[in-house]
Amino acid sequence: MSSAEGLPLQRVPKHVAIIMDGNGRWAKAQGLSRLEGHKQGAKRLRDVIQWAKDAGVKQVSLYAFSTENWKRPKLEIAGLMTLLATLLPLEVPKMQEKGARLLILGDISKFPWLARRALDKAVQATKNNTEIDVILCLNYGGQQEIVDGVKSFYASFDDEQTRAKAFSELTPETLYKFLGRDDILPVDLLIRTGGEKRISNFHLWDAAYAELYFTDTNWPAYSEQDLIAALQDFAHRERRFGKTSEQVQAGDRDE
């Protein structure tokens, strides 16, 4: 049984994370404003969700606004928040058609009220959809996520003795429960567009064994063939998770 473009389903990543980089560079090359680049990038997002769904991907997470993006010019930030508040409600009917469920990762409490309302309404409207999850990472940073998880773990104990014992026995599996990622799968494939080759504080925990894929294509110009190329590259990678190549191949033969 195969997915889009003949990829075997067992070789399709379940969770694809995307750093949507290059909006500004694309706009500059077109003689347009950075905000227009972000607007075109938002439109591209709709297509990528459909292409990922067609390929058999179950979750797509999108680095839409990082904890570091507050350092950008205030006018650009205001424009981004306005785009979120105005464009997201228009996308909800299309998400319903696709069976897409919207999830939010990050602290949106600092966002303007109109943006928060648009997000809350979209999450509620799509909560029962099951075809694909769309995870918007907003005011999100991997380091802050881990810090917040440790704080939540610390606050879950009433006395110092119990807390000290729990810290001495702390495991990654235990801490994971405090990261607020209950519905989110580990990242299989992390894609960055726009030519840069770094992960920029994105999914530091759940991308521990992710395959990384970088492309020079700026996000507004990203095409279905660009996505298929990334998925095909992933399908040919050997994912060992700490094992040797021989162990992995032996496991494949046993299946």
SS (H, E, C) the chain: CECHHHCEHHHCCCEEEEECCCHHHHHHHCCCCHHHHHHHHHHHHHHHHHHHHHHCCCEEEEEEEEHHHHHCCHHHHHHHHHHHHHHHHHHHHHHHHHCEEEEEECCHHHCCHHHHHHHHHHHHHHCCCCCEEEEEEEEECHHHHHHHHHHHHHHCCCCHHHHHHHHHCCCHHHHHCCCCCCCCCCCCEEEECCCCCCCCCCCCCCCCCCEEEECCCCHHHCCHHHHHHHHHHHHCCCCCCCCCHHHHHHHHHHC
Of 6-10, 106-110, 113-117, 164-168, where does mean pLDDT reach its minimum?
Answer: 6-10
Among residues 54, 69, 201, 233, the one annotated as catalytic is 69
Q: What percent of the chain has pLDDT over 90?
A: 86
pLDDT at 140 over 50: yes
Q: Is the pLDDT of residue 193 over 70?
A: yes
Name which of 60-69, 110-119, 223-232, 245-254 the model is least confident about.
245-254
* Percentage of residues in the chain having pLDDT higher than 70: 89
Tens digit of each residue's pLDDT (9 = 90 or more) over 45-83: 999 999 999 999 999 999 999 999 999 999 999 999 999
The CATH class given to the 4-141+185-254 domain equals alpha beta
Separation of alpha carbons 249 and 255, rounded Å: 10
Query: Which pLDDT tens digit goes with each residue over 207-223?
Result: 999 999 999 999 999 99
Can 182 be counted among the known catalytic residues?
no
Give CA–CA dist 149/174, Å, rounded.
10
More confident residue, 5 or 16: 16
Report the distance separating Cα 230 and Cα 47, nearest Å: 16
This prediction's pTM: 0.90
Q: What is the pLDDT of residue 5?
A: 56
Active-site residue flag, 69: yes
Please tell me which residue, 39 or 243, carries the higher pLDDT value: 39
CA atoms of 6 and 2, how far apart (whole Å): 5
What tens digit of pLDDT does each residue of 160-181 get? 999 999 999 999 999 999 999 9
Residue type, 52: A
Evaluate if residue 2 carries a pLDDT over 50. Answer: no
Work out the average pLDDT over 245-254.
62
Residue 1 has pLDDT above 50, yes or no: no
**pLDDT computed for residue 137 by the predictor:** 97
Residue 4 pLDDT more than 80?
Answer: no
Quote the mean pLDDT of the chain: 91
User: Comparing 238 with 25, which gets the higher pLDDT?
Assistant: 25
Rounded CA separation 16/195 (Å): 18
Does residue 22 have a pLDDT over 50?
yes
Q: Is 50 exceeded by the pLDDT of residue 18? A: yes
Contact 24, 37 (CB under 8 A): yes
Q: Are strands 132-140 and 189-192 parallel, antiparallel or unpaired?
A: unpaired
Question: What's residue 238's pLDDT?
Answer: 75
